Structure 1
Amino acid sequence: MMLLFLLLFASLALAVVRQVERLDAVPEPPGGCCPGCGNAVEADWMICPRCKELLQNVCPGCGRSLPVFHRFCADCGSPRAKDYGGGEHDQKS
């Protein structure tokens, strides 16, 4: 009986931890929207013309354009540099 209780408690604790990790993640903004102000932006823009939010930077691994809300480069898999762009996006880590 005690083993069943511990197993149930462990699975509940795991579910809570997963939910908390999901809340800590920075959500990717909808396609074509600025993460700073939410207005429509073009895919190749580097900075939002309305709020001056940095939209893209250069990947430290392959040199390709990398949106600031991506944690890893979609082309080479390199992690985003800690010191670039996004302002509020990097402060949660």
Structure 2
Amino acid sequence: MMLLFLLLFAFLALAVVRQVERLDTEPEPQVGHCPGCGNNVEVDWMICPRCKELLQNVCPGCGRSLPVYHRFCSDCGTPRAKDFGGGQHDQKS
């Protein structure tokens, strides 16, 4: 019985250690492409450091910040304004 308890305790301790190790690692930044120059840019950047293109807009549906290379708002699903940010990436209707 004691051996079973020790095995269970070891298993739980290992699970806790693995969870703590996951929390210690920094997540990779989400990356997109600048509509102006094609440079890799992070999702939360406001301006491209290479060409100074504006990278954020306000979602017309919910008012949250929306990267210009996203076609739809990730919060509410509203399509971005067609006249903003990299029109060459918009689909033709």
Q: TM-score, normalising length from structure 1?
A: 0.52
Report the alpha carbon displacement of residue 83 of structure 1 after superposing the two structures with TM: 1.5
Tell me the distance in 1 between the aligned counterparts of 2:71 and 2:77.
9
Amino acid across the alignment from 2:76 = C
Report the Cα distance in structure 2 between the residues aligned to 1:34 and 1:80, rounded to whole angstroms: 16
Question: What is the identity, as a one-letter code, of the residue corresponding to 1:37?
Answer: C
Q: 1:84 to 1:39 in 2, by over 3 A?
A: closer
What corresponds to 2:70 in structure 1?
A: 70
Question: Quick check: 2:35–2:68 contact (8 Å CA) kept in 1?
Answer: no
Q: Which residue of 1 aligns with 2:55?
A: 55
Whether the aligned pair in 1 keeps the contact of 2:69 and 2:85 (CA below 8 Å) is: no
How is 1:3-14 mapped onto 2 (pairs within 5 angstroms)?
Answer: none
Cα gap change, 1:86/1:35 in structure 2, threshold over 3 Å: closer, same or farther?
A: closer
Q: 1:48 to 1:75 in 2, by over 3 A?
A: same
Deviations 1:37-89 (A, max 9, x none): 34343432222121122322110011111111211111011111111122422
Give the aligned partner of residue 82 of structure 2: 82
State the one-letter code of the partner of 1:77: G
**Residues 83 and 63 (structure 1 numbering): CA distance in 2 closer, same or farther, change over 3 Å?**
same
The number of equivalent residue pairs is: 63
Amino acid at match of 2:63: G
What do the CA deviations read for 1:20-51 (whole angstroms, capped 9, x no partner)? xxxxxxxxxx8154343343434322221211
Q: TM-score, normalised by structure 2?
A: 0.52
Q: Which has the higher strand share?
A: 2
Aligned CA RMSD, in angstroms, stands at 2.4
